Amino acid sequence: MVFIKSVNAKKIFDSRKEKTILITIKTNVGVFSASSPNGKSKGKYEALPYKKDLDYDIFTIKKFKDYFSDESIDCFDDLRRIEDIVDGHLGANTIFALESATLKALAKEKKEEIWQLINENYKNKNLKFPRLVGNCIGGGKHSKGKKPDFQEFLLIPKENSIFESQKQNKKIKSLLYDNLKKIDRNFSGKKNDENAWMTSLNDKSVLDILKEIVNNFKIDLGIDCAASTFYKRKKYHYLNPSINRDKEEQFNYISNLLRNYPIFYIEDPFDENDFVSFSRLLKKYPNRLIVGDDLTVTNLNRLKKALEMKSINAIIIKPNQNGFLSKVKEVCDLAKKNNIKIIFSHRSGETEETILADLAFGFQADFLKSGISGKEREVKIKRLIEIEKKLKR
């Protein structure tokens, strides 16, 4: 069993040089730390990262150390004991970091991997590894200047190993540098918040480049539209080129893209309240992944509504959108029960925390969305490769 003797918290900087939280706990089996990432493109309905602000959470959590010392943690489900104490007092980032540090302590005490704590019957199961989803070209809120309106253009390898998938993503991203250099006169080789190439090309021009890539490699193509970020006053306001589309025009535009380009995966193509348009798109393209992120925000009730409306066949899981890992488990369980594909995802402001890989594998996610390059992104992929190597020995 693990007993938390003391809790400390401090500010650290994420990959965007913005402040986030690092939690350190002292336990009967040692000292363990974990941090939380920051999101920039946030869904309206996701949990607040901090109760009031970062300083408030740091001050508050230190007051709880005596409460934690009375609780013993012996399995993943025991995290609820911590959650009962902090519920209503701390934000999602802080809770996620605290529970992550606790899982690290429990893994040490049990002499197991973190993913094994989540998937207790792993010895009796045929485990799968998630496919990598990597952002290669970026726009939207993650980029600056003239840019695509869509937030992410994604590479999804079909390789049989994580190592080979990451190798392929890096190779293609390198090739894209040369392609963008030839076509985009403004391209300077700069990278955005998620370490994806920044370009002044519009969405269709980027898709034209990627269409050729897909034809030459064993890979699927995805886009994260993040449509809520440019939806205001019942219109989708595109800037590159400048055009406003109403709800029906947006549906027709997205439908045309899916018809004319080999897009396997499309995330948040409509506003976060438009369950109906998601549903229409899924009905029209049942063999594509229609992915909810801002629509569902790792929230059980939002997922229930999406299921009722038949709005999605895939869901983004961002643990710090919720904070409570027991509730993340509930969302994953309901998604699996209804054959909804699960995509565990990083945030745009990342840290060198690796637990996302263990969570993705432990919950048997279908995909891990963790970028392609940049140390904060690559550590998660390297952790997944490490798990892969250990299991294949």
117 is a domain residue: no
Check which CATH number belongs to the domain holding 92 and give it. 3.30.390.10
Please indicate, yes or no, whether residues 194 and 335 belong to a single structural domain of this protein.
Answer: yes
> Binning pLDDT at 50, 70 and 90, where does residue 121 land?
confident
Angstrom distance (rounded) from CA 214 to CA 371 = 18
Percent of the chain with pLDDT over 70: 99
Please indicate, yes or no, whether residues 128 and 68 belong to a single structural domain of this protein.
Answer: no
User: What's the pLDDT at 158?
Assistant: 96
Please indicate, yes or no, whether residues 246 and 381 belong to a single structural domain of this protein.
Answer: yes
Closest-CA residue to 334 (of 313, 295, 303): 303
Number of independent structural domains in the chain: 2
Q: Which of 64, 79, 111 is the last residue before a domain boundary?
A: 111
Please indicate, yes or no, whether residues 68 and 130 belong to a single structural domain of this protein.
Answer: no
> Binning pLDDT at 50, 70 and 90, where does residue 103 land?
very high
Cβ–Cβ under 8 Å, residues 2 and 79: no
Percent of the chain with pLDDT over 90: 91
Check which CATH number belongs to the domain holding 264 and give it. 3.20.20.120
9 is a domain residue: yes
Please indicate, yes or no, whether residues 103 and 133 belong to a single structural domain of this protein.
Answer: no
Asked if residue 324 has pLDDT above 80, the reply is yes
Alpha-carbon dihedral 226, 230, 234, 238, rounded to 10 degrees: -110
Q: What is the pLDDT of residues 13-52, one digit of tens each?
A: 999 999 999 999 999 999 999 999 998 878 889 999 999 9
Domain extent for 50: 2-111
332 is a domain residue: yes
Please indicate, yes or no, whether residues 59 and 167 belong to a single structural domain of this protein.
Answer: no
User: What's the pLDDT at 124?
Assistant: 66
**DSSP conformational letter for 113:** -
Q: What is the pLDDT of residues 122-175, one digit of tens each?
A: 766 789 999 999 999 999 998 999 999 999 999 999 999 999 999 999 999 999
> Binning pLDDT at 50, 70 and 90, where does residue 57 land?
very high
Please indicate, yes or no, whether residues 44 and 162 belong to a single structural domain of this protein.
Answer: no
User: What's the pLDDT at 25?
Assistant: 96
Please indicate, yes or no, whether residues 221 and 349 belong to a single structural domain of this protein.
Answer: yes
Please indicate, yes or no, whether residues 16 and 135 belong to a single structural domain of this protein.
Answer: no
For 24, 34, 326, 340, the CA distances from 31, given in Å and listed in that order, are 7, 11, 23, 37
Q: What is the pLDDT of the chain when averaged over all its residues? A: 96
Please indicate, yes or no, whether residues 130 and 87 belong to a single structural domain of this protein.
Answer: no
101 is a domain residue: yes
User: What's the pLDDT at 120?
Assistant: 78
- Model pTM? 0.97
Average pLDDT for 358-373 = 97
224 is a domain residue: yes
381 is a domain residue: yes
User: What's the pLDDT at 267?
Assistant: 98
384 is a domain residue: yes
User: What's the pLDDT at 89?
Assistant: 96
Give alpha helix (H) positions in the chain.
54-62, 65-68, 79-86, 92-110, 114-118, 162-183, 203-216, 247-260, 275-284, 300-309, 319-322, 325-337, 355-362, 375-392
Average pLDDT for 195-202 = 97
118 is a domain residue: no
Please indicate, yes or no, whether residues 373 and 311 belong to a single structural domain of this protein.
Answer: yes
Q: Which of 111, 138, 172 is the last residue before a domain boundary?
A: 111
Q: Which of 111, 133, 161 is the last residue before a domain boundary?
A: 111
Residues with active-site annotation: 194, 318
Torsion sign across C-alpha atoms 100, 104, 106, 111: positive
Please indicate, yes or no, whether residues 277 and 354 belong to a single structural domain of this protein.
Answer: yes
